[in-house]
Chains A and B, each alone.
Chain A
Amino acid sequence: MEKNRIFTAIAGAAAAVFPLILGLNEYYVFLVTLIMLYTTIVVAWQLIGGLGGQLDLGAGAYHGLGAIVTGYLMVYHGISGWVGLFAGGLAAAGVAFIIGYPSFRFGLKEVWYALSSLALVLILQKIFLLWTDVAGPLERYIPYAAFDPIFMRSGYKTFYYYITLALFAATLALVYRIRKNKLGLYLQSIRDNEEAAEMLGVDVRKYKLIALLVYSFIAAMTGGIYTSMVGFYHPTLFDSWISIQTVTLSIAGGLGSLWGPPITSLILLTVQEYLRITLGAVIIGLHQVIFGIILIFIILFRPEGLGPLLDTLSVRLGLGSKASKEM
Chain B
Amino acid sequence: MKAVEVVNVTKKFGALTALSNVNMDVDIGEIVGLIGPNGAGKTTLFNILTGFLKPDSGTVKIFGDDVTNLPPHKIAQKKVARSFQIIKPFPSMTVLEAVMVGGYLNTGDEKTARERAVEALKMVGVNHLRDRLAKELNTQQLKLVELARCLATQPRLLLLDELVAGLTPAEVDRMSELIRKLNAEKGITILLVEHVMRFVMKISNRVVVLNYGEVISVGTPEEVSRDHKVVEAYLGTKAGA
Seen from chain A, the residues whose Cβ lies within 8 Å of a Cβ on chain B are 180-182, 185-186, 188-189, 191-193, 195-204, 256, 322-325, 327
Contacts and interface: CB of A to CB of B under 8 A. Distances in A.
A182 B92 contact: no
Interface of B: 50, 52, 71-73, 76-77, 81-82, 84, 88-94, 96-98, 100-102, 104-106, 108, 110, 113-114, 118, 130-131, 146, 149-150, 153
A196 B104 contact: no
A188 B73 contact: no
Given A195-B88, A196-B88, A201 B106 contact: yes
Nearest to A184: B97
A199 B76 contact: yes
Nearest to B130: A324
A182 B93 contact: no
Contacts of B131: 322, 324-325
Given A199-B73, A199-B76, A201-B102, 17 more contacts: A185-B101, A188-B90, A188-B92, A188-B93, A192-B93, A193-B88, A193-B89, A198-B72, A199-B81, A200-B101, A201-B106, A202-B101, A322-B94, A323-B96, A323-B97, A324-B96, A327-B118
30 contacts: A181-B108, A182-B110, A186-B104, A188-B93, A189-B93, A189-B101, A191-B92, A192-B90, A192-B93, A195-B52, A195-B72, A196-B88, A196-B90, A196-B149, A197-B90, A198-B72, A199-B50, A199-B84, A200-B101, A200-B149, A201-B76, A201-B102, A201-B105, A256-B92, A322-B131, A323-B97, A324-B94, A324-B96, A324-B97, A327-B114
B73 A202 contact: yes
Interface centre among A185, A202, A256, A327 (most CB of B within 10 A): A185
A26 to B, nearest CB: 43
Contacts of B76: 198-201
B93 A198 contact: no
B197 to A, nearest CB: 27
B90 A189 contact: yes
B72 A181 contact: no
Contacts of B104: 182, 185-186, 201
Nearest to B105: A201
A182 B108 contact: yes
Q: Interface on chain A toward B: helix, strand, loop, or mixed SS? A: helix
A43 to B, nearest CB: 19
Given A195-B52, A196-B90, A325-B131, A185 B73 contact: no
A323 B133 CA distance: 13
A198 B96 contact: no
Nearest to B82: A199
A185 B105 contact: no
A203 B77 CA distance: 10
Contacts of B96: 323-324
A-B pairs with lowest CB-CB distance, top 8: A201-B76, A192-B90, A196-B88, A201-B105, A198-B72, A189-B101, A193-B88, A324-B96
Contacts of A323: 94, 96-97
Nearest to B114: A327
B84 A192 contact: no
Contact of B84 (A180, A188, A195, A204): A195
Contact of A185 (B88, B97, B150, B153): B97
A200 B102 contact: yes
Nearest to A188: B93
A181 to B, nearest CB: 6
